[in-house]
Amino acid sequence: MSLACLADYHTHTPLCRHAEGWPVELARAAAGRGLGELGFSDHNPMPAPFDDWRMLIGELPRYIEAVAEARAKFPALNIKLGLECDFIAGQEKWIEQLAGMAEWDYLIGSVHYLPDGWEVDNPKYLSRHSGAGTEEIWRSYWRTYEQCIRSGLFDFVGHPDLPKKFGFRPQGDLRRYYDGAIAALAETGTPYEINTAGLRKDCAEQYPAFEFIQLAQSAGVPVLVSSDAHSPAEVGAGFEEAVALARAAGCTHTLRFTRRQRSSVALA
């Protein structure tokens, strides 16, 4: 299938210290794969050094410059400037400040940090996910995810069911977790992404699960497809599969963002 109707808006750069490939190299990969647009969304800086997997605030100009360089080298590809922002309750003011620091095309809201201050997707804490921990992690994560959606700070939200990354899921019907988030998406008109990185993780499935996609579609929530590429080889990865799922759920359109204004594009 042609990927020309699609944009890959969730990609990273070496400034986050755990990705390879500068914007120019990712742009070359995106052009090679025939994507319509490419957007960069590296992990947002914090006001002071915070953890070891994001750019420092002083590196923001270099990030913007690297994206501009890719734009100059690949004028035929629409290249967008974004950030993947960590939603952390109490830090909303910082996100508002960041929003004014560049001409962002979009800001993605993601939850990696649980309220007790550790990252749900960090292999360092893998052992916490098994046994009785699973249920508690999912409860805490989805509560935070709903807050992230309702904050109104973001143009769309990232990898909805991230806590399944290592393959641990609570027993039974998982709609008890999805429902609150889908209601929040529908009520606030916030889009979410189908993120193909999960296909490359132990959970071996895109984020979110197909059932979430179906429920979101029934609720009229707009959707995007993204790779969460941390290397050029991952740009547009799994897009055929993700689009097939979106279509199977009844989705007919996806979104583009320019300077935080969205427009709808038909899935070819």
* Chain residues in the site for Fe ion (CB under 5 A): 84, 110, 228
| Burial class of 178 by CB neighbour count within 10 A (0 to 12, 13 to 18, 19+) | buried
Site track for Zn ion across 223-242, x = CB under 5 A = -----x--------------
Identity of the residue, 228 or 234, whose beta carbon is nearer to Fe ion in the bound complex: 228
Please state whether 190 falls in left (phi above 0), alpha (psi between -120 and 50) or beta.
beta
Tell me the site size for Zn ion, rule CB under 5 A: 1
3-class secondary structure per residue, 117-160: CCECCCHHHHHHHCCCHHHHHHHHHHHHHHHHHHCCCCCEECCC
- Give, as ranges, the residues between 56 and 115 that touch Zn ion (CB under 5 A): none
From the CB of 44, what's the least distance to Fe ion, in Å?
11
Query: If you search the block for the tokens 């594009």, which residue do you land on?
Result: 265
Identity of the residue, 105 or 228, whose beta carbon is nearer to Zn ion in the bound complex: 228
37 makes contact, choosing from Zn ion, Fe ion, none, with CB < 5 to 8 Å by partner type, with none
Identity of the residue, 146 or 228, whose beta carbon is nearer to Zn ion in the bound complex: 228
From the CB of 173, what's the least distance to Zn ion, in Å?
26
Tokens describing residue 141? 């994560």
Identity of the residue, 118 or 247, whose beta carbon is nearer to Fe ion in the bound complex: 118
Residue 19 CA from chain centroid, whole number: 15
Tokens describing residue 136? 């508690």
From the CB of 76, what's the least distance to Fe ion, in Å?
25
Q: Which residues bind Zn ion (CB under 5 A)?
A: 228
